[in-house]
Copies of this chain bind each other. A is one copy, B any other.
Amino acid sequence: MKPLGYRSVTVLDGFWKQTREKNARISLMNVYRRFEETGRFSALDCVKRDPPPHIFFDSDVAKWLEAAAYLYHDYPDGEIKNIIDKSVNAIAAAQLPNGYYNSYYQVYKKDKIFAERMEHELYCAGHLIEAAVALFEAGLGDKLLLVMRKYADYIHERFYVARDPLFTTCGHPEIELALVRLFECTNERKYLTLAEFFLNERGKKPEYVYPFFDSTYDQSHMPVREQTEAVGHAVRALYLYIAMAEAGRISKDSPLLKAAERLFDNIVNQKMYVTGGTGSNYFGERFTAPYDLPNEYAYAETCSAIALAFFCESLAKAENKAKYHDVFERVLYNNLLAGQSADGKGFFYTNPLETNISHLKFAREVKGYPYQPIVERVEVFDCSCCPPNFIRFVGRIGDCIYGEENDRAYIHQYISSEANIGKLKIKMNSGFPYDGEVKIVAEGTGALGTRVPPWCDKLTCTVNGKSVTPETSDGYLMFEVKGMCEILLNFNMRPRFIYSNENVSQNCGRKAVEYGPLVLCAEGVDNGNNLRNIVIPSTEHAKVCRDGIFSVTIPAERLHTSDALYSYRPPEKEKIELKLIPYFLWANRGETDMQIWFM
CB distance from A305 to the nearest CB of B (A): 16
Q: Is A563 an interface residue (CB 8 A)?
A: yes
- Tell me if A505 is interfacial: C-beta within 8 Å of chain B: yes
- Kindly report which residue of chain B lies nearest to residue A330, judged by CB atoms: B566
* 8 contacts across the A-B interface (CB closer than 8 A): A212-B368, A268-B565, A269-B563, A269-B564, A496-B568, A500-B561, A500-B566, A504-B565
Q: Which residues of B contact A510 (CB under 8 A)?
A: 509
Which chain B residues lie closer than 8 Å to A367 at the CB level? 212-214
- In the complex, the answer to whether A532 meets B559 with C-beta atoms within 8 Å is no
Taking a contact as CB atoms closer than 8 A, the residue among B272, B500, B501, B562 that contacts A563 in the complex is B501
Contacts of A359 in B (CB 8 A): 288-289, 292, 505
Q: Is the CB of B212 within 8 A of A570?
A: no
Could you say which of B362, B365, B567 contacts A498, with CB atoms under 8 Å apart?
B567
Across the interface, do A291 and B568 meet the contact criterion of CB distance under 8 Å?
Answer: no
Cα A501 to Cα B370 in complex, Å, equals 26
Give the interface centre of A286, A566, A570 by most chain B CB atoms within 10 Å. Answer: A566
Chain A interface (Cβ < 8 Å from any Cβ of B):
212-214, 216, 268-270, 272, 274, 283-284, 286, 288-292, 356, 358-359, 361-362, 365-370, 455, 457, 496-505, 508-511, 530, 532-533, 535, 559-571, 599
Q: Do A358 and B498 contact each other (CB < 8 Å), given the known contacts A503-B530, A508-B559, A599-B508? A: no
Chain B residues positioned under 8 Å from A291 (CB to CB): 358, 565
Q: In the assembly, how many copies of this chain are there?
A: 2
Name the contact of A561 in the complex, choosing from B288, B499, B535, B570 (C-beta under 8 A). Answer: B499
**CB-nearest residue of chain B relative to A368?**
B212
Let me know if B292 and A362 touch, CB within 8 A: yes
Contact present for B561 and A532 (CB under 8 Å): no
Q: In the bound complex, how far is the Cα of B567 from the Cα of A457, in angstroms?
A: 12
Give A565 Cβ to nearest chain B Cβ, in Å. 5
Is B599 a contact of A497 with CB atoms below 8 Å? no
Give Cα distance in the complex from A535 to B502, angstroms. Answer: 13
Are A568 and B499 in touch, CB under 8 angstroms? Answer: yes
Instruction: Using known A-B contacts A370-B370, A570-B499, determine if residue A533 contacts B508 with beta carbons closer than 8 Å.
Output: yes
List the B side residues contacting A358 at CB < 8 Å.
289-292
Bound Cα distance from A567 to B532, whole angstroms: 21
Contact B362 A497 (CB under 8 A): no
Known: A508-B559, A535-B509. Contact between A283 and B370, CB under 8 A?
yes
A292: chain B residues at CB < 8 Å are 358-359, 362
Among B284, B356, B569, point to the contact of A499 (Cβ < 8 A).
B569
Do residues A216 and B560 form an inter-chain contact, with CB atoms below 8 A? no
A274 and B498 in contact, given A283-B369, A356-B505, A366-B284 (Cβ under 8 angstroms): no
Which residues from chain B contact A272 at a C-beta distance below 8 Å? 565
- Of A358, A508, A509, A565, the most chain B CB neighbours within 10 A belong to A565
Bound-state Cα–Cα, A160 to B313, Å: 74
Say how far A587's CB is from chain B's closest CB, in angstroms.
Answer: 18
- A sample of 6 more A-B contacts (CB under 8 A), given A283-B370, A289-B359, A356-B505, is A213-B366, A269-B563, A288-B362, A289-B361, A370-B370, A509-B533
A530 contacts B502, CB within 8 Å?
Answer: yes
User: Hey, which chain B residues are within 8 Å of A365, CB to CB?
Assistant: 214, 216
- Verify A499–B566 contact, CB threshold 8 A: yes
Evaluate contact between A565 and B270: CB separation under 8 angstroms.
yes
Asked if A568 contacts B457 (CB within 8 A), the reply is yes
* A562 to B291 CA separation, bound complex (whole angstroms): 14
Let me know if A561 and B362 touch, CB within 8 A: no
With a cutoff of 8 Å between Cβ atoms, the chain B residues found around residue A214 in the complex are: 365-367
| A356 partner residues in chain B, CB cutoff 8 A | 505
Q: How far is the CA of A570 from the CA of B213 in the complex (A)?
A: 39
B269 and A565 contact, CB distance less than 8 A: yes
Set of chain B residues within 8 Å of A501, measured between Cβ atoms:
561-567
**In the bound complex, do residue B213 and residue A502 qualify as a contact, i.e. CB atoms below 8 Å apart?**
no
Point out the residues of chain B lying under 8 angstroms from A532, CB to CB. Answer: 505, 508-509
Please report the C-alpha to C-alpha distance between residue A503 and residue B457 in the assembled complex, in whole angstroms: 37
